[in-house]
Structure 1
């Protein structure tokens, strides 16, 4: 009862944020996203097909993003109402109410279940110690082709910087230590039994860990999945981390990224360089993961307590 009354008091005290305050934030968000992508979201999406640093944003995370323009749209934290008119809607995420806020109670059960899974993944990743010796070899395992095996599928439209013999040697030289199922599931069939972990979707949360570049890319997925019930600045932060992680991911792969110096994980010096850069991505991702978890908790609290607060208000009026 006390907690519900406190939430009710907070709701009564909250003021609608005037347009003069939120519009500059929306403009800064769009400018930041445009700078990170190198172009406005729509333009970047059109260019992304052959760009390995962008294609995962608009393709791999496309189902969570929806329209490309959404990446540049603004939204306030959950429970914050803003002054907005019909003319403002093009710069805002869809679904804003006439009251100037987004209603968390209107989400379908399927979407709520996806948010629950997302929060569980974030929490599981945060609590596990980082693993520094995977060296990004998941991309190598995807291209593994021992003698007699069929030609492996290339997941990027890029030339290779090493030959097939080198790829095979790297994969066969040591146990692979991939912990991320959505990378493992693209391994060449002949490489799956070379991984330390037999990963499955059902056991995904048992292995996620915060040094994994794919786990840190997925911060963007979980930020987009929570929108519009998350501060847009957090979407920008997640995009920034995801691009840093993807840059390391592709540099450490057997692919040749034009204009970029590779991280040659087939060498001892390259592996040391990978760990150094991996640690930098980990350090950038950690506070974003913490803030995302807090945003998820704020959402579920609002979803659970706002109806109760209104019911409590009705009782007080009576």
Structure 2
């Protein structure tokens, strides 16, 4: 973990909150809610009927942010909402003579330790080169030497036999730097990984080419809410959703019937396809990571 960064207590820069008229912030809120409804509504419909989707439901089952939280709109730091009621936005907002603003100091004070931890992780990850040679073997290590009945998504068939799947893992090797992927490896797969990541080494190992590290930008964004605007949380969700599709297309599962043609990483052509997509996602994630860091820096200087 990098050295802790302390946020200033007072004003270090004269920043005037951007003011939004009622029509403007209400339009932003409506646009956000309409955008996320396209993701939330199908998931909630499946949940009501007991249906499960291994790609589309993942972000709602793996991560802790509830659908109602994703739907709720926050303007982020440094925004004044004219003709607004703080009770409409929650306890982290306060009345201002001209409207409503986020009580940034209150949020910082309550979450100081986690904010610093997240910022240090984002900054450390952003400062490293992207490594693109894992070829998605983390998903294969999660089913290594398991039968069809034992695998996590056992409602869906494996593309290869368990024996051939295990052979691919042994032949390709595993180069996973992400603890929250590594912890789902089967016990016999863990010694095959060139790294043995832990929560304590996360800041030292996380790197910007990792699909799961980039998917986790959604987690860091919602954990920083309401310091970051809901539009940024939704942007991170959208990227995580696209990454999850690649993650499962390159996995040992056969999801072609759901409209996810496989990326056959057991072949040279499939590995080239995977690395190209991984590079593109790393570029998209770098932009979002920078936006999160900028929001945190703003949260440290805005007087509230």
Place the TM-score, normalised by the shorter chain, in its bin: 0.7 to 0.9
Q: Residue 253 of structure 1 aligns to a residue in which SS?
A: coil
Cα deviation, residue 59, structure 1 = 1.9
Q: Residue 50 of structure 1 aligns to a residue in which SS?
A: coil
CA distance in 2, matches of 1:139, 1:117: 27
Q: Hey, which bits of structure 1, 4+ residues long, moved more than 6 A?
A: none
Counterpart check, 1:118 vs 2:118: yes
Residues 145 and 168 of structure 1 are in contact (CA less than 8 Å); yes or no, is this contact kept in structure 2? Answer: yes
Residues 217 and 242 of structure 1 are in contact (CA less than 8 Å); yes or no, is this contact kept in structure 2? Answer: yes
Paired residues, what number?
Answer: 291
Per-residue CA deviations over 1:143-164 (Å, capped at 9, x if unaligned) read 1118xx9975425643222210
Aligned partner of 1:316 in structure 2 is none
Cα deviation, residue 74, structure 1 = 1.4
Q: 1:5 to 1:197 in 2, by over 3 A?
A: closer
Equivalent residue runs for 1:115-264 within 5 Å: 115-145=115-145, 152-154=150-152, 157-257=155-255, 258-264=258-264
CA distance in 2, matches of 1:297, 1:48: 43
State the TM-score, normalized to the length of structure 1: 0.82
State the TM-score, normalized to the length of structure 2: 0.85
Aligned partner of 2:3 in structure 1 is none
Cα deviation, residue 68, structure 1 = 1.1
Task: Choose the corresponding residue for 2:94, options 94, 97, 111.
Answer: 97
CA distance in 1, matches of 2:134, 2:292: 25
Q: 1:203 to 1:150 in 2, by over 3 A?
A: farther
Residues 158 and 256 of structure 1 are in contact (CA less than 8 Å); yes or no, is this contact kept in structure 2? Answer: yes
Gaps of 5+ in 2: 1-8
Per-residue CA deviations over 1:264-289 (Å, capped at 9, x if unaligned) read 11111111111111112112111111
CA distance in 2, matches of 1:111, 1:156: 39
Cα deviation, residue 117, structure 1 = 1.3
Cα deviation, residue 79, structure 1 = 2.8
Q: Residue 196 of structure 2 aligns to a residue in which SS?
A: coil
Residues 206 and 213 of structure 2 are in contact (CA less than 8 Å); yes or no, is this contact kept in structure 1? Answer: yes
Gaps of 5+ in 1: 308-318
CA distance in 2, matches of 1:261, 1:222: 30
Cα deviation, residue 216, structure 1 = 0.8
Aligned partner of 2:295 in structure 1 is 295
Residues 73 and 93 of structure 1 are in contact (CA less than 8 Å); yes or no, is this contact kept in structure 2? Answer: no
Max Rg structure: 1
RMSD over aligned Cα, in angstroms? 2.9
Q: Give the structure with the higher percent strand.
A: 2
CA distance in 2, matches of 1:226, 1:175: 36
Q: 1:284 to 1:15 in 2, by over 3 A?
A: closer
CA distance in 2, matches of 1:117, 1:187: 25
